[in-house]
Amino acid sequence: MGESKQELLRKAWLGGREGNLSPLMEAKAWALREVWNDDKESSYGMLEYIRGKVVKVAPEGEEPEPPTKQAVAKFFQKVDADPDWYPGKSTQEKHGPSSVINATNQGIVARSAMAMKNRGEEVTYAKLVAATPKALANADTEAPVDKNVVYKILRKRCYDSVGDPDDTWKHQVRLSQTALTDGQKAERHTWGLGFQENDIRKKRRTANWFYHNVVWTDVCNSILPRTQKRHEEMILARKAKKGWGSSKTKRASKNLRGNTAKTKQKSWDSIKVWWAPVLTRGKLHVEMLGEGFPGETSEGAAIVQPLGRKSRSWSTPRWIKMWGFLDPPVSP
């Protein structure tokens, strides 16, 4: 069989409207019901069982999802009502009327949404309606279109990278990495270059120079429990995002994580302890900062800065680096 016929068969069996069952999945669902009815006297639990065995057609690159029990029941109603039914019957690539927002207005909305995001604003339905009221108005009613119409425009026309316009937006879970403001980016860039008169790249500092001249430190804190109840809550909060357990007992407390705020926020049943790790020449020293420490502030940094000279148990340089590059360094 030629390649073109193979591709035709593939589309015929695996294609279909996004969000619906493909002909292959329809045939599988129908077969599973036939087997169920032959083996069992009751249909109780059948829909839940079958929905777990089939998946809907998903957009390219996305994970297919199973249908709901109601969708499976509706599918079987259609099959039973049509004596001439066959897998994939009446499958259409596009359903419903054309969008009330024409291509020109869709482009206006998409450009407005991307500009809004580039300014650091959160893109929402309400903001887009306020920014482009005419483009998002229904021509018949003059009222704003439904939010799902706007979301379809965002998924279809909006993108982050100019070099890759096919990588369109998706409403997805954000990464846990913290965002940086323009000011923070500039500060980090300045630190990376070093002061103009002491540019690290120009002087080509060696690993040996850093070993002898740089002390690394930071202001840290830990929350310590004062009661048994808080101690148990913090143990639960420190559970990893993934763990071993049975699928049917996922909602049991022993398989769930605790409130992570318990390890980060101080309350009456806990104390906050400030400390600073000091690393230099392959040695690590932990300095406890004591009660009344002002925390991650300029006053706190001023207290931490001379730690390199306070330690008595090991040799340290006479100067210390605090989130920046101090010049000139003093050789030991």
Cis preceding-peptide flag for 87 (omega within 30 of 0):
no
Smallest CA-to-CA distance from 325 within 206, 215, 207 is with 215
44 is written with which tokens? 């109780």
- Residue segments in the chain with a per-residue pLDDT below the cut of 70: 1-3, 90-99, 176-177, 191-204, 243, 245, 254, 306-332
Structure tokens at 92: 């259409």
DSSP calls for 233-272: HHHHHT--SS----GGGTTSGGGS---GGGGT---TTEEE
Q: Are 279 and 221 in contact (CB under 8 A)?
A: no
Rounded distance between C-alpha atoms, residue 49 and residue 37, angstroms:
13
pLDDT of residue 176: 64
Domain residue ranges in the chain: 3-81, 103-157, 198-238+254-332
- For residues 32 and 40, give the distance between their C-alpha atoms in angstroms, rounded to a whole number: 12
Quick: pLDDT tens for 178-215: 777 778 788 877 766 655 545 555 566 777 888 887 88
Question: What CA–CA distance (Å, rounded) separates 201 from 211?
Answer: 17
Report the amino acid identity of residue 329: P
What's the pLDDT at 86?
87
Tell me what pLDDT residue 129 has.
92
Measured over the CA atoms of residue 73, residue 76, residue 81 and residue 85, the dihedral's sign is positive
| Most distant CA pair in the chain, distance | 92
